[in-house]
Structure 1
C-alpha cells in the first residue's frame, strides 16, 4: 500500500548515480558495408567518447572521439575501405588531430600535423573523399587570441600522409562536403555571420578541383540543413523555402522539386555538424524524421507515412543499409539505444540496451499538452507529474513543479526518458518541459517568434505554462521553480528578474550579460558571437534592450533564491559571467549557491559532476520549498 507522504520526502530507487550514468548515450551512428558503428559518451571515464563496431569497444582510454569545431563539435569519425582493408579516421579531443587506425589492430597514427598552439587546428564532419583515399572535413584554424579569431575551410586529408589541402573557403562557416558519384562535382553548405545555420544557408556546387561555385538553393531566409547526392546530376536537400524543412531534389542546373510537400519539419538545427535527418532506402523512397518520428517518404505518391514503433523519438543519425534502418531511438521509459528496423517485415531489434535497470513503475510518463498565451499563441509542453508507486500525495497538498527550459534556444523538448526529471518526479516534484516560442519542430514562423524577443517570449511562455498548471490545481502556486542550462539558464535567470511566478531557479552554465556575449564583448565563441543580433537586436541600435534584458544588471530584482552551476573550461558560456553575477549576489540577503567544476566544458560530462549537481539541486529545492529530502547531502546556501 502506498504511503502518504509530503512531496519531496519520498524515497526513490532512482539515485544521482543513475542520472550520472545516463549523462552520455549513443552518438554518431554509421554503417559501413554490413557493420554498424557508433560512438558513446562515458561519464564514468571522465566523459570521454568511445567507439563501437557491432558492439565491440575498439578504442580504450585515453582515446576520445570528440572535436571542438564551433565548440559543439560534429561527426568525429568515418570508416574507409582501403587496399589494406577497412580503416577508421577520427578526431581525438586531446590534440584535435585526425588519426587513422586498423579496427582489427588498433594503433592510431596521426594524419594531420600537430598545431602550433593548443587546439589550434580542429577538424569535424569527417566524410570519405574520392575512392576512400582521402578524408574530407571542416577545418578550423585559430588565428589569434580572441574568440572570433577563427578561419575555416573545407579540406582533403590524404591517407598516404601527404599534406592537407584546401578544397574551398567560400564562407565563414561550411559543412557537408559531398563528392558526386561520377566525381565531377562536389557540393557543400555554407553561411556567414550574422546568420545562424537555421536562419539562412547556401547549397554550393563546384567542379572538382576548383573552388569557383554556384549557389543552387538557400539564401537569407532559407536554410539547407542536409545534402546528399541522388544522381550524377542532382542532389537531395532538406531545405525550407516555404517555412518547413522538406526534402527536395535539386538539379545541378538549378531545377527544384519538393518530393512530398508537408507542413511539418523533416529537418533540424545544425548545432553540431553531421546530422542525418534522411537516408535513401531505394530510388524514390526515403527514411525521414517527421518531427521526432521515423517515417517513410514515397516520392511516387508524394506521401509521408509514420512507421509504427513503441519508440516515439528517433535521433538525427539515420542510416539505411539493405532495407534496414539503423538509428538511435528512445521513449518515455527508454533511454536512447541503438536499434535496427527491417523495413521488409517491421522487425525492430535492439542492438544496445538501457544503461539503467530501474523498474519502469518508478518512471514518469510525459503528457503532451498545449497551452495558450493571452495573445493566442500556442505553447507545446510535456508534463511529467510526480510518480512513485510507494508514495502518494496528502489530500491537502499540491505538488511543487519545476519548469524546465531547454537550451538553444533554437532547440526543442522531446517526450523521452530523462532520468534527471525522473529523479525529481519519483520524489514528489513535478516537471514540465516547455517548447516556448523559438523552439524547433513547429516551422520557421514559430521559430522566429523569438526574433528580437529573447528574454520576453521565452519568459512569458514558460510563465504562462507555470501559471496554468497552478490555476488548474495541478501545481502548488507557492512552490514553482524554473531550471535550465545554457540558453535555458538565460531564460531561468531572466524569469527570476522579470516575473514573480517562481520561488527559485536552478541556473546552469548560463548567459547572464548580453553585451558580454557578443563579438564585441568577447565572452563567447565565434559560432554564436552574433547570434544575439537575431535574438535581441543589432548594436548599437538595441543597446538599451541589451541592458534592460540582462539578468546581470538586475540582481536587485531577483524573485527568490538561485543555484548556479558552472564548468570552468566552458568556452561557450564562460564562467566570468556567473562569477560576476554571484559576486553581486553576495551580501544581498538572497540565499544562493554557486558550484563550479574543474575540467567541465559546456554541459556536464563527468559522472562525479552530474552526481554533485543533481544532489545539490534537490537539496536546494528542499530548502526553498520546506521539505527535507532523505539521504541527500545538504547544500550550503549563502546570503
Structure 2
C-alpha cells in the first residue's frame, strides 16, 4: 500500500499483527553448531517448552529431528553464561552424543540411533555450592572418555570453585563416583577453555586467564605435551598477557597453530609457532576477526582440510570469508546475510555457520569452499508476519561528547496502513555486556514497537565490541558515564534531526543495559521513562567485596569502574541505588528471582530507596527465571507491560494491550 492511501493516525495506536506472543515465540537463536559424521547438530530455543534448549539433528537428506524430548535441556552453567554443552563422535558407524543437562548439570550420553536406550549419566551430582558443571565436552573414543572443562564448587560462596580439564569415563562408571573423574592437570588458572589437540594428539592448547582480567582484557595461549597416560605435561605460555586478548586458538590439519589475538589493536588471525611463540599476522586489517569470549567454545574461525581458513571478519557486523593463509587473500561468501554468529563448524571443504540480516532471522548456512556455493540447510527463515510490518534498518554514526563516533542502528516506525505527522516517540535500546555488541538483524521485538508507531534505536556505545580495542577501552573506568552519554547523544541526535519527539524518548535495557537505563534515569533528564530488566543497581554489592554476583564477573568492575580499594567513592556515587531520589521518570523494573548474576536483592534495595516518593513505577518479578528471560509467558508479559508503560507516559492507547498498574 502506498503512502498516499495510508491513514494519518497517532503514533503508538496503530493496530499490528506483531503481537507479544508472536515476538516471544521467536525469541532466541540456534547456537552451538557441530558436525558428527555426516550429521549436523545444534541447540535451539524453545520458549513454549519452559525456555529449554533443544538438541536438533539434521541428517544428510535434510530431515531434522529432536531426539531429546522435554524435559531434556541441553545447556550448561559454566561461568553462568555457559559454553558449548554437547559433543559427539561416531562409534561403530553411528553417533554417540554427550551433553550437559541444565536441571542437574550432569553430563549424559546417549545413542540417538538406539531410541530404546535412554540417556545415561556420566558424572555425579555434588551438593557443595553450585556442584559440578561441565562445558565443551569432547568425545575421545580411543580412550573411552569424554574430555571437558570442569567447574567444581568447593564451598558455598560464588567464588569457592576451581576450573580444570578433566576426563570422564564413557561407560558411566563415574556417575556416582567423583574419584573416577580423572584430572588431566592441576588447577593453575582461574579460567580455562577446552583443550584443542594437535592432529597427532601429541600437544594441547587452551586459553587461560585470572582475576581481575576479563577475557577481552588479557588471556594467554597455554600449550603442553599430552603424555601417553592422557595427562598434560608442564604448560608454557605461547602468546598473550595482561593487555593482549586471545579469544580462540585452533590447530589446522597440517599442524599449524592459529590464534585470534588483538595485539595490533584489532582481533586479527595469527599463525603461532608452538615451539617459540612467534606470531605472524595472516591478514593485517583494521577489522575484527573475533569478538568477546563470553561463552566457552565460541568459534570465529575454522581451518579447513585443504588449507583455507573460514573466518568471520568486519567492522561492526561480521561476515563470512575464506582466507588463504599463504597469500593473505580474503574472499567473502556470497549471500544476503550481513551478520554471522560465533559458532562456525567445518568438515572437509564445508563451512557451516549461523547467519542473519535485517530482513531475515538466523539461518544455518553452509558454504562449500570448493565451489563457493552457499545455501540454507537449517532453521530457514519464514516470514512470520507480512514484511511490510518489518522496519527498515539503518546503520548510523552519531556524534558524541568531544566529537567521538557513536555507532547505532535506527528503526523508524513502519506500517503499511498507517502513518503519522511530526516526530515519533523513540526508545533507545542499551545492550547488555557491556563488552558486547547488538547485531543488526531481524528482531520481532523491535517490530512489535515499530509496527505500532514507536521508533527504536539500538546503541553500540563506547565499550562495545566490533570496532577495535580503542573503542572497547573507552569504557574503562567510565561505565555509567560513556555508555549513558552515548545513548543520550543518539536520542538527542534523532530529536535534533526531527525524527524523534524530544518529549517522548524512552530508554530500555537488560543486565548491563539495565544498569545504563537506570543510570540514565538518575543522571539525565533526556528520557521520559525507562524499562529496566535484571539490572545491576548497586556497584558495591557487585564488587569483589560485595559478593553478590558470580565468579566470572566478580572482578569486572575493576576495569569498568576502577579498583574498589582505591576508588570506593565511585562505586557509591555511580550506583542508581544511592540516587533513587533523583528519579522523576516513570519506570518498569523486571527481574528473575533465580538470577545469580544480577540478584533480585539489588532491585529490592533500589525499590526500598524509592519508597515514599511519588514516582509511577511497576515491579514484575518472575519465579523460575534467571538471567535473561526464556519462558514464553514471561516474555509476553514483559513486552505488553513495556508497551503499556510507553502508552501511559506518551499518551496513546495501544489496542488490545493490558494496562500496566503503575504505583503510586
Q: TM-score, normalised by structure 2?
A: 0.94
Residue among 312, 330, 342 paired with 2:368: 342
Corresponding residue number in structure 1 for 2:564: 539
Structure 1: where are the runs of 5+ without partners? none
Question: What is the deviation of 1:143?
Answer: 1.5
Structure 2: where are the runs of 5+ without partners? 59-63, 174-179
Question: What is the deviation of 1:115?
Answer: 1.6
Question: What is the deviation of 1:585?
Answer: 2.1
Corresponding residue number in structure 2 for 1:288: 311
Greater shift in the superposed pair: 347-356 or 134-143: 347-356
Residue by residue over 1:485-533, the C-alpha shift from the partner in whole angstroms, topping out at 9 and shown as x without a partner, is: 0000000000111111111110100000000012211111110000000
d(CA) in 1 for partners of 2:352 and 2:253? 23
Corresponding residue number in structure 2 for 1:386: 413
Question: What is the deviation of 1:230?
Answer: 2.2
d(CA) in 1 for partners of 2:382 and 2:566? 50
Corresponding residue number in structure 2 for 1:450: 475
Residue among 604, 626, 629 paired with 2:651: 626
Corresponding residue number in structure 1 for 2:172: 161
Report SS of the residue matched to 1:516. Answer: helix
Q: Do the aligned partners of 2:522 and 2:579 also contact (CA within 8 Å) in 1?
A: yes
**CA-atom RMSD in angstroms:** 1.5
Give the alignment of 1:366-515 within 5 angstroms. 366-394=393-421, 397-515=422-540
Residue 86 (structure 1) aligned with residue 95 (structure 2): yes
Corresponding residue number in structure 1 for 2:193: 175
Residue among 48, 65, 68 paired with 1:44: 48
Corresponding residue number in structure 1 for 2:176: none
d(CA) in 1 for partners of 2:270 and 2:141? 25
Q: Do the aligned partners of 2:91 and 2:141 also contact (CA within 8 Å) in 1?
A: no
Residue among 180, 187, 209 paired with 2:205: 187
Corresponding residue number in structure 2 for 1:588: 613
Residue among 203, 221, 225 paired with 2:243: 221
Residue among 263, 274, 288 paired with 2:286: 263
Report SS of the residue matched to 1:144. Answer: coil
Q: Do the aligned partners of 2:100 and 2:135 also contact (CA within 8 Å) in 1?
A: yes
Corresponding residue number in structure 1 for 2:113: 104
d(CA) in 2 for partners of 1:585 and 1:616? 20
Report SS of the residue matched to 2:601. Answer: helix
Q: Do the aligned partners of 2:224 and 2:234 also contact (CA within 8 Å) in 1?
A: yes
Q: TM-score, normalised by structure 1?
A: 0.97
d(CA) in 2 for partners of 1:238 and 1:135? 26
d(CA) in 1 for partners of 2:436 and 2:210? 20
Q: Tell me how many residue pairs correspond in the alignment.
A: 637
Residue among 112, 118, 138 paired with 2:149: 138
Report SS of the residue matched to 1:431. Answer: strand
d(CA) in 2 for partners of 1:205 and 1:128? 20
Greater shift in the superposed pair: 218-227 or 112-121: 112-121
d(CA) in 1 for partners of 2:298 and 2:96? 22
Residue 77 (structure 1) aligned with residue 103 (structure 2): no
Question: What is the deviation of 1:132?
Answer: 6.5
Q: Do the aligned partners of 1:482 and 1:492 also contact (CA within 8 Å) in 2?
A: yes
**Aligned in 2, Cα 1:447/1:53: closer, same or farther, shift over 3 Å?**
same
Residue among 372, 388, 401 paired with 1:361: 388
Question: What is the deviation of 1:227?
Answer: 1.2
Corresponding residue number in structure 2 for 1:9: 13
Question: What is the deviation of 1:624?
Answer: 0.7
